[in-house]
Structure 1
Amino acid sequence: MSDFADLLDSLAHAPSRVLTADGAFDAPTLRARALAIADALQARGARVVASRLDNGPDWLALDLALRARGLVHAPLPTFFSAAQTAHALARSGADLLVLAHATPPIPDTVPLLPGLRVRVLESAGASMPAGTACITFTSGTTGQPKGVCIADDALLTVANALVEAARPLAPARHLCLMPLSTLLENISGLYGALLSGADIAVPPLAEIGYSGAAGLDVGRLLTCLHRYAPHSLIVFPQLLLALVTAAEQGVTLPASLRFVAVGGGRVGPALLARADALGLPVFEGYGLSECVSVVALNRPGAVRAGSVGRPLPHARVSVVDGELHVAGVRCLSYLGEYAQPPGAIATGDLGHVDDDGFVHVTGRRKHMFITAFGRNVSPEWVESELLQHPLFTQAIVLGEARPFNVAVAWLHQPDADAATVQRALDAVNAGLPDYARVARVIRADRPFAAADGLLTDNGRPRRDAIAHAYADAIARVYDDASVFPDSAPTQELPA
């Protein structure tokens, strides 16, 4: 498939179907909807089109329409705050914002086609490199979305690599569990599925069980899995933990699963071992938006526990001063910035490549802290151990220049008593060296959420924001500590 126009043309005779709770429709119907959307947008003279749509067939049709006609798509996550949305729209220079029809109609919008409305924007244009086809927004530590500009050929290159990686397992039905505005789901769940002729299940996020950016109803998720009986899924570590925990408690998972890719954060080896013991076909991977999503992936015939797999053909990974650098397919630039300098991209991720070419990621350079005893601690490592215990749902670990480490955590059982929390913490610490152990747990008063500025758009914790939100409680822990944790019992403190 040489370009997206060819891909859209191929849907006239493709076997793929789009599945929803209301039924299924075939690839020719998807193609017809995409062409109708493309004609309607071009009639309005659009060049850059932003969208804020829930997962569903119209998300697919809109994206394919823009790809095939050479227009720029700037998809916005539905959980972006009003301020984040306004910032992203201004930065993108979008001419139109596409929204789903609502009753009553959304103010300041006009019909585009049945089911879709648009808001005409006063665009001042945007500084983006030639060839930009997609602007994917990733939230940085400041909370303001950062636009990454990507070309069509890069999107297709990565999509084709993922198709080849999964080919031995022949997944013929993919269930989109991530928002389609997430670059990984967009490339693998949409383009990859269509390139391989697979069916695509695109339920709205509420049907999956999501509420906001962090809430998840596991019962609804399991119902969704059984309804669509997918062969392939892409999940974040927390979602994998929810599935593994449910299965360990006797809940039956679909026997149809063949390929469960997990990424977006470090996955502890114990969680992967638990998944393997259940017979779940889990394959850990690694990527970043600047490298157009997936860089490395464990895949059939090439799996190494504790690694994120070997690089895919379009990527080359090296290590410079303990930091992973990636060359090959890459973004064009950030919005409003000049093109990236040539050469490999410094990822900011710590890790190594073993003798057999498997990539190992151990944490983020900017997150690493040094304790008062001079020991380097990668908090992602400790957090992944915490999150493998069923009691801990979200957590960050802190300890820069301190004699012991503390965690701010949201518990799966918010009303668990102190003894229960202590037993869970003891169990986690038993598998950690003394310098990495968590001495005190501060209970979060609510889940970390993107709407509160405590999570990024793909569910990663904003450490500085969380530390600021619980600064008083953290200060009390250290102010009240009169002894080092190896000579005193650990305890939890309220926020």
Structure 2
Amino acid sequence: MRESSTEQVARIDDSVNVTDGVLALAEHAPEHPVYAVRNGAGGWLDVTISAFLEQVRSVAKGLIGLGVQPGDRVAVMSATSYPWAVVDQAIWFAGAISVPIYETSSAHQVAPLLADSKARMVLIGDDQLRAKVQSGANMSGGKNSGTEIYPIASTADLEEIAANGNTVKDATLEKARSGAGADDVATLVYTSGTTGKPKGVRITHRNLAEGAANIVPFASDILGEGESRTLLFLPLAHVLARAVQLICLHRGIQVAHTGDTSTLLDDLGTFHPTWLLAVPRVFEKVYHSAAAKAESEGKGRIFNTACQTAIDFSKALESAAAGGRGPSLGLRAKHALFSRLVYSKLLDKLGGEVTHMVSGASPLNPEIGHFFTGIGVPVQEGYGLTESTAPITLNIPGATRVGTVGLPVPGNTVKIADDGEVLLKGPVVFAGYHNNEEATAEAFDEEGYFRSGDLGQLDEDGFLTITGRKKELIVTAGGKNVYPTPMEEKVRAHPLVAQVVVVGDEKPFVSALVTLDPESIRGWTQRNGLGDLTLSEALKDADAAKALEAEVQKAVDAANDEVSRAESIREFRILDTELTEDSGHLTPSMKLVRGKVIEDFADTIKEIYS
């Protein structure tokens, strides 16, 4: 199949913007809880839609009182939090355009965003960010040196902003709120720049609101109704988290926030979400941490058997859904046993009430997907980019194929070009790049499809599989095309492996750079009689280094079993470092900045091929 579409189920009027969905919910169910905030005693307080809306209006009036005009850009640089949710809507109520900035961004990264967007104001979630923002504003050639900065870390900060709107009339606010139409820009979201300079993606009110209106009925079994809750911990500067937050607000799903992942397990245990959104690395960490704990307690063999049972059970269920044979009686019996002994404990770690999880932002290893499905919490993998307002395809209950990223969300079309590139069209596809007509023209083909830059395939039923990035395709000296992503996923499935970068463009064979997970190393060296060693110590110890290399070789061999010899990884090097966001090698959504890795470790790559 070369093209897959799903019929659109909802359309919005040209006069509608994202704030209308908030008003509609408030009118329909004014006391419905839409957010939850910590109560200071380890619990949570409900925030009703009416209370939220009152706070949004007050802050919006404050922004207007501070001089914000319709069409102005207001930047937000903050960790994921409830105040972020308030100011996001308040900016729209004031008729302005929001510009999210990752709180982890450096001053050098902030500077071009402020310069390109011409943001007149920056709202910061932590006063420590002030110097970074001011430095970035000064770097932008004086264009933003007068940028106003206001904190939004607490309710008191929001009230301080709101106090500036005491003289702003309701009619003035309503005129600002209702001024933007469906096709006006709602937010400028800058791409992470894994392959070049970040570009400002113009996302319209239609992209957000019509996207939400179509995905809600499509994913209703995941989202749930009534008492549905989710804990949001992805950065709200990422379009996926913000799109999901808006979907929840329009649907009436209660959202709690945590910007500190060190408290995530405690927050899951007290808030008890019914579904979760995460990136693949989170699912990998949960899986590998559980495996490492079992090993340290001498239960590694039991856990491994339980894992394989879960994977086999998931695959059997998938086979049955496709008309094949389902789980055998023996497999059902083993699965029931491990449900009591192993799986229930893992589900308790997630808060005990999670029924579905959604994975996005980067590819999920199919084995990890089958594992979670097998223990009772299916991972519904989806696909999207900043330019598609995040989710444009999704696996849903009753229409799931692990290893694919699902079917198009209603109203959208996925097409595969002759060279394998994934092309996208629909109401969620962006309006173009800010101040960059040349890049906008290059981004669309003659039929109006967005060129995603990803390579993929559609099966006979329209499910999309992403095979890699077009710009990351490796062509060896022998002319063999190699897609690095599937190989990297397979190697990264090993619990000791953190990141993998497959290289070999114009080289005689394929090789890889591997980094290890520091959290897993210490327990592994202890269990294997090598001492209590850190990652650095283990790589310097001859016996430990040799044993680690053998472990990585097992992962490489498993990956090589699935490809031809010409595509196989012949050599690898373990790096004595981590690839992190701080080092510039990962984006905030945990995607590899491949060019940066290859540039910084050029000497290691050269040594491999010398």
Do the structures match in fold with TM over 0.5?
yes
Local SS of the residue matching 2:391: strand
Rounded Cα–Cα distance in structure 1 between residues aligned with 2:268 and 2:183: 41
Q: Would you say the 8 A contact 1:406–1:440 is kept in 2?
A: yes
SS in 1 for 2:552: helix
Aligned equivalents of 2:126, 2:285: Cα separation in 1: 33
Q: What does residue 15 of structure 1 align with? A: 32
- The one of 151, 154, 157 equivalent to 1:115 is 157
Candidates 397, 411, 432, aligned match of 1:300: 397
TM-score, length of structure 2 as denominator length: 0.70
Q: Compare 365-374 and 295-304 and name the one that shifted more.
A: 365-374
Change (3 A) 1:427 1:224: same
State the match for 1:184 in structure 2. Answer: 240
- For 1:34, the equivalent position in structure 2 comes to 56
Cα distance in 2 between the residues matched to 1:407 and 1:425 = 11
Counterpart of 2:364 in structure 1 is 267
Tell me by how many angstroms 1:101 deviates: 6.0
- Of 223-232 and 459-468, deviating more is 223-232
Distance 1:410 1:104, change over 3 A: closer
Give 1:131-142 correspondences, 5 Å limit.
131-141=184-194
Contact 1:450 1:456 in 2 (8 A): yes
Aligned counterpart, 1:332: 431
Single out whichever of 141-150 and 301-310 deviates more from structure 2. Answer: 141-150
Secondary structure of the corresponding residue to residue 317 of structure 1: strand
Structure with more of its chain in strand, by fraction = 1
1:227 aligns with 2:270: yes
Amino acid at match of 1:450: E
- Alignment partners' CA distance in 2, 1:303 and 1:54: 33
Residues 143/221 of structure 1: CA separation in 2 closer, same or farther (3 Å cut): farther
Partner residue of 1:463?
594
Per-residue CA deviations over 1:76-104 (Å, capped at 9, x if unaligned) read 11011111111111111111111236499
Supply the distance in 2 between the matched residues of 1:164 and 1:307 (Cα, whole angstroms). 21
CA contact under 8 A between 1:5 and 1:69: conserved in structure 2? no
1:445 aligns with: 576
Q: Please state how far the C-alpha of 1:456 moved relative to its aligned partner.
A: 2.4
Q: Deviations over 1:330-360 (max 9, x none)?
A: 1111121236556101111111111111111
Deviation string, structure 1 residues 91-138 (Cα, Å, up to 9, x no partner): 1111111123649987874678832588xxxxxxxxxx9821101111
Distance 1:404 1:278 in 2: 39
- Give the corresponding residue for 2:122: 97
Gaps spanning 5+ residues in structure 1: where? 119-128, 210-219, 480-495
Change (3 A) 1:403 1:232: same
Q: CA deviation at 1:162?
A: 2.8
**Cα distance change, pair 247–450 in 1 and its aligned pair in 2 (3 A):** closer
Alignment of 1:141-180 (within 5 A): 141=194, 144-169=197-222, 170=224, 172-180=228-236
- Within 1, Cα distance between the matches of 2:18 and 2:129? 35
Displacement of 1:152:
0.6
Does residue 199 in structure 1 map to residue 199 in structure 2?
no
The structural deviation recorded for 1:151 is 0.6
Separation of aligned partners in 2, 1:130 and 1:323 = 27
Residue in structure 1 matched with residue 111 of structure 2 by the alignment = 86
For 2:381, which of 272, 284, 305 is the aligned residue?
A: 284
- CA distance in structure 2 between the aligned counterparts of 1:142 and 1:427, rounded to whole angstroms: 28
Amino acid at match of 2:605: I
Distance 1:382 1:105 in 2: 42
Distance between the aligned counterparts of 2:200 and 2:469, measured in 1? Answer: 21
Cα gap change, 1:109 to 1:365, in 2 (>3 Å): closer
Measure how far apart 1:397 and its partner are.
0.7
Q: Could you tell me how far apart the structure 1 residues matched to 2:461 and 2:130 are?
A: 57
Q: Match for residue 422 of structure 1?
A: 550
Shift of 1:320: 0.7
Q: What are the residue-to-residue correspondences of 1:270-419 with 2, within 5 Å?
A: 270-321=367-418, 322-329=420-427, 330-338=429-437, 340=441, 343-412=448-517, 413=521, 414=535, 415=538, 417-419=545-547
Deviations 1:380-437 (A, max 9, x none): 1111111111111112110112233222222012335222332332244233323333
How much has 1:244 moved relative to structure 2? 2.2
Q: Between Structure 1 and Structure 2, whose CA radius of gyration is higher?
A: 2
Would you say the 8 A contact 1:80–1:450 is kept in 2? no
CA positional deviation for 1:292: 1.5
Cα distance in 2 for partners of 1:68, 1:447 equals: 43
Question: How many pairs are equivalent?
Answer: 456
Structure 1 range deviating more: 290-299 or 341-350: 341-350
CA distance in 2, matches of 1:439, 1:21: 52
Q: For residue 26 of structure 2, what is the amino acid of its counterpart?
A: L
Distance (whole Å) between structure 1 residues aligned to residue 449 and residue 391 of structure 2: 15
Seen in structure 2, the aligned counterparts of structure 1 residues 224 and 193 have a Cα distance that, compared at 3 Å, is: same
Q: Structure 2: which amino acid aligns with 1:393? A: A
Q: Distance in 2 between matches of 1:88 and 1:173?
A: 33
Task: Tell me which amino acid in the other structure corresponds to 1:137.
Answer: Y
Structure 2: stretches of 5+ with no match in the other structure: 1-11, 135-147, 162-181, 295-341, 522-534, 539-543
More deviation, 148-157/411-420: 411-420
> In the alignment, is the contact (CA less than 8 A) between 1:316 and 1:327 conserved in 2?
yes
Kept after mapping to 2: 8 A contact 1:454/1:465: yes
Deviation at 1:247, TM superposition (A): 4.0
1:3 matched to 2:17: yes
Q: 1:382 to 1:77 in 2, by over 3 A?
A: same
TM-superposed CA distance for 1:20, in Å, is: 3.1
Q: Tell me if structure 2 keeps the 8 A contact 1:143–1:453.
A: no
Q: CA deviation at 1:177?
A: 1.9
User: Structure 1 CA distance, aligned partners of 2:129 and 2:388?
Assistant: 41
Give the 4+ runs in structure 1 shifted more than 4 A. 103-113, 339-342
Cα–Cα, structure 1 residues 27 and 247, in superposed 2: closer, same or farther, change >3 Å?
farther
- Alignment partner of 2:67: what SS? coil
Q: How far is the alpha carbon of 1:306 from its aligned partner? A: 1.9
* Bigger share in helix: 2
Tell me the secondary structure at the aligned position of residue 404 of structure 2.
Answer: coil
Contact 2:63 2:94 in 1 (8 A): no
Question: CA, structure 1 residues 406+20, in 2 after alignment: closer, same or farther (shift >3 Å)?
Answer: farther
The worse-fitting range, judged by mean Cα deviation, of 21-30 and 231-240 is 21-30
Superposition deviation, residue 438 in structure 1: 2.3
1:421 partner amino acid: E
Check the 8 A contact 2:22/2:249 in 1, yes or no.
Answer: no
Contact 2:514 / 2:574 at 8 angstroms: preserved in 1? yes
